[in-house]
Amino acid sequence: MWTDDFSQCAASAGKNICAQLFRYAEDVQALLAENDDLQRKYVSLDRTYRSISEYRHLLATLMRTTAEGYLSTDLSGKVVGCTHSANLIFGRENLIGIDLFCLIAEASRPEILAIMNGGNAPVSTVRLVHADGRHIAARVRLVSSASDRPQKVIHWIVRPLVDDSIQASSLENEYAEPLSEGLFVTNLAGKVVTVNATFCRITGYEASDVLGLHMLNMNSTVLGDGVLEGVWGQLPVTGGWQGEVVGRRKDGETFPEWLSINAVRGSDGNVVGYFGTFHDLSGLQESEQCLSRMAYYDVLTGLPNRHLFNDRLRMALSNVRRSGKRMGLFFIDLDRFKQINDSLGHDVGDELLISVAQRIKSVIREVDTVARLGGDEFSVILPNLSDPQDAAMVAGKILEACQPAIHVGSHQLLSSPSIGIAMFPENGDDESSLLRRADLAMYSAKAEGGNTYRFFEQGNEGESDRLTLETAFRAALKRDELYLVYQPQMAADCTEIVGVEALMRWRHPEFGDVSPNVFIPIAEWTGVITEIGRWLIRTACRQMAEWRDAGIPIRRVAVNVSPRQLRDQNFPNIVIDELRASGLPGSALELEITESELMLYPEATLNKLAEIRSYGISIAIDDFGTGYSNLARLRALPIDRIKVDRSFVLDIEADTNANAISACIVTLAKAMNLEVVAEGVETNGQLEYLLRQGCDLIQGYLFGRPMTPEVLNTWFHEEDGEAQR
């Protein structure tokens, strides 16, 4: 096992290297914490900005719909600013640029002039001139400036006065129809005498339903019963009130509203009625709820996001510390999700994530939390556990729930989870330690082939520290730490060596030999697999050219191709350029692609393979029988041979099912005119079965282990010598 080798190498590392690795991990954790803090601040600022925008709009609306008109004039009396309500009072589209004295009846102009000249009475009852020529009684008040600087603009508030009848029809005509807010007018007793159309639309009442109804019967304050009644009693003194209340629609539904009530005074200054406007706040509250949900919940799956997950993890830890019970933390990553997402498109990937999220949620308790941390990463918090076995049971349920294929359109998708488990208090006492160790345990599950769960073990930190390996692997190619070994592929009758498979290896100066099961996934995650894949093709082709120059009759070299390489639009040119640079014909190179990956590729990728194959380069399906195969699609693939997975060859002698499966694969391949390569052949008994079934090529320890070029040269000459004898 690679874990034993790596553990021994890690144990031999010096204290300085270990200290450096831990400092690196601490720095990464600090950066992650800082990033989370910045994201929380961004979300908070974004919510504040949106709320301010909403309230600014609301304020502008209230200012526009109030019963009072606001004017600003320069010192000569020319209007330089006004509100919508002021335009309505005077019956004009826009007052700006008009002389204020043209809007005042001739008899009242001296009073306005006295106010402008600093008279002692800043408030005066005057007669206004409407656009249609009629006069309107109003109170005009000058708003004093708090500034000590010389005043250049005079601000006025204009309120129309009505008699005891409230002149309901006049107010309706002046204010009602242009408004997007509800409007109502009551008499002195508080009974409704008129409403506008928006009032009816918002509340569901017809005008006839509310005429004569007391205003208090239509609203109740959010502050508690009786508060609005107290406000109502003070209106004759205060002259107005505004605040948030709960309104009632005709069907009984309640809704939040911003209510503004102003007393209307007659020409004698006494209150003769009340004028009210209200704005439906339902949309604003829904926007705030939507913002809150966006800040704390994943938009795609509806699960808690990383921010809410962190809060719940802190709370869960606090609770289990007090209760003395255990807590389990899962880190879940989907197997092969990147291939599905990149091959079939993000829409298909999104549907897969939604389905997986629902399946995970369906098997956990109400007290548990499942969150999407990002991409295809999920986490589950399991508080109040009695035993680690409880966590294992939940992990088993998740694996079972995710086992059936997920149907997305015409696709049947298999994307099993790899689950890492960390336990409190055994594996850590704080959030970051538990999450990091659950992450490390998940990578141990990945290294086992996925579709399983693993508990964190103390050895994981030394041998599976992904951050450490990622950092080291990024420099591996530049430092010449990567090399290739080659395993022979023999004719089934053992008469000749037909080809070799090039396999990549990594020898780190401190860690020693690192298993491909560890560094190949790292190469995929970090994206360097594209660069390394091209190096592999180049190196294998050059070595093949050297063997040919030396007279070693090996027909072809096979190299494994990553899904990331196939997604590169320039991939066919890369392969052909490297082949030509080595001086080899196309028949000297074979590309191996795993069955599960090849079945997911869109037509554009298959076209790339067909282009490559047109140069004489052969295509093989690797690990055949372990993935999901569509026979109709298989028939249309541009392939030359099939490699039977070693799992079937291993049990071919003792397991009748394995024997039958391998025989079926051979029969299928022959029917499609494809060659069959059997991998993992280690015994003569296995060889005999494969010969009877009709296998064409054999690869495995029975003939040779993966060898460096120098060792393979020696091996070839020894085999050649034995054949001649």
Assigned fold of 66-160: Beta-Lactamase (3.30.450)
Are 562 and 571 a contacting pair, CB within 8 Å?
A: no
The pLDDT of residue 391: 93
Three-state DSSP state, 474: helix
Query: Which amino acid does the sequence have at 242?
Result: Q
Task: Tell which wins on pLDDT, 7 or 272.
Answer: 272
pLDDT of the residue at 546: 93
Handedness of CA 683, 689, 692, 694 (dihedral sign): negative
Question: Which one has a higher pLDDT value, 26 or 146?
Answer: 26
Q: Can you tell me the distance from the alpha carbon of 16 to that of 682, in angstroms, rounded to the nearest whole number?
A: 43
Beta strands 556-560 and 512-514 are: unpaired
CA angle at 664 for the pair 662 and 665, rounded to the nearest 5°: 65
Residue recorded with tokens 């059936």: 404
In this prediction, residue 299 carries a pLDDT of 82
Q: Which of 179-183, 226-230, 292-296, 466-470 has the highest mean predicted lDDT (pLDDT)?
A: 179-183
Of all helices (H) and strands (E), which one includes residue 481? none
Q: What is the pLDDT of residue 703?
A: 84
Nearest to 398 by CA among 379, 375, 425, 372: 379
- pLDDT computed for residue 328 by the predictor: 95
- 470-724 CATH, one of 1.10.3720.10, 3.40.50.12780, 3.20.20.450, 3.30.70.100: 3.20.20.450
pLDDT, position 120 = 54
- Across 497-506, average pLDDT: 92
Residue 173 in this model has a pLDDT that exceeds 50? no
CA distance 192 to 426: 70
- CA 261 – CA 273 distance, rounded (Å): 10
Per-residue confidence band for 41, with pLDDT thresholds at 50, 70 and 90: low
Under 8 Å between Cβ of 337 and 349: yes
Residue 119: what pLDDT?
61
Percent of the chain with pLDDT over 70: 76
Under a CB-based contact definition with an 8 Å cutoff, are residues 320 and 383 in contact? yes
What average pLDDT score do residues 593-610 get?
Answer: 71
Strand order, beta sheet including 254-265: 192-195, 182-187, 271-280, 254-265, 240-248, 219-221
Residue 377 has pLDDT above 50, yes or no: yes
Say which range, 33-37, 170-174, 411-415, 519-523, has the weakest mean pLDDT.
Answer: 170-174
- Name the residue with higher pLDDT: 165 or 526: 526
∠ CA 371-423-9, nearest 5°, is 105
Give the C-alpha separation, 20 to 407, whole Å.
Answer: 47
Cβ count near 94 (within 10 Å)? 11
For the cut 80, the answer to whether the pLDDT of residue 94 exceeds it is: yes
Q: Is pLDDT of 550 > 80? A: yes
What pLDDT, in 10s, does the model give residues 627-666? 545 555 666 678 888 888 887 788 788 778 778 888 888 8
- The single-letter code of the amino acid at 131 is A
* Structure confidence at residue 401 as a pLDDT band (50, 70, 90): very high
Looking at 409-448, list the stretches that DSSP marks H as alpha helix, in order from N- to C-terminal side. Answer: 431-447
Spans of all domains in the chain = 1-61, 66-160, 172-285, 297-464, 470-724
The model's pLDDT over 527-538, given as tens digits with 9 standing for 90+, comes to: 788 889 999 999
pLDDT in tens, 404-435: 888 888 888 877 899 999 999 888 888 888 99
Q: Please, which pLDDT band fits residue 394 given cuts at 50, 70 and 90?
A: very high
Q: What is the pLDDT of residues 674-695, one digit of tens each?
A: 899 988 898 888 888 888 888 9
Would you say how long the chain is, in residues?
A: 725
Per-residue pLDDT of 213-265, as tens digits, reads 887 776 654 444 455 677 777 777 777 787 777 888 888 888 888 888 887 77
CA distance 296 to 78: 53
Q: What is the reported pLDDT for 23?
A: 58
Is there a shared CATH topology between the 66-160 domain and the 297-464 domain? no
Note the pLDDT of residue 253. 85
Dist CA 84 CA 90 (whole Å)? 10
What is the DSSP track for 658-725?
Answer: HHHHHHHHHHHHHHTT-EEEE----SHHHHHHHHHHT--EE-STTT---B-HHHHHHHHHHHHHHHH-
| CATH assignment of 297-464, among 3.40.50.300, 3.40.190.10, 3.40.50.1980, 3.30.70.270 | 3.30.70.270
> What does the alpha-carbon distance between residue 713 and residue 725 come to, in Å, rounded to a whole number?
19
Buried b (16+ CB within 10 A) or exposed e, 101-129: bebbeeebbebbeebbeeeeeeebbbbbb
Buried/exposed 181-203: b ≥16 CB within 10 Å, e otherwise:
bbbbbbbeebebbbbbebbbebb
Superfamily per CATH, domain 172-285: PAS domain (3.30.450.20)
Question: Given this model, what pLDDT does residue 83 score?
Answer: 77
Q: Which residues pair with 241 in a beta bridge?
A: 261
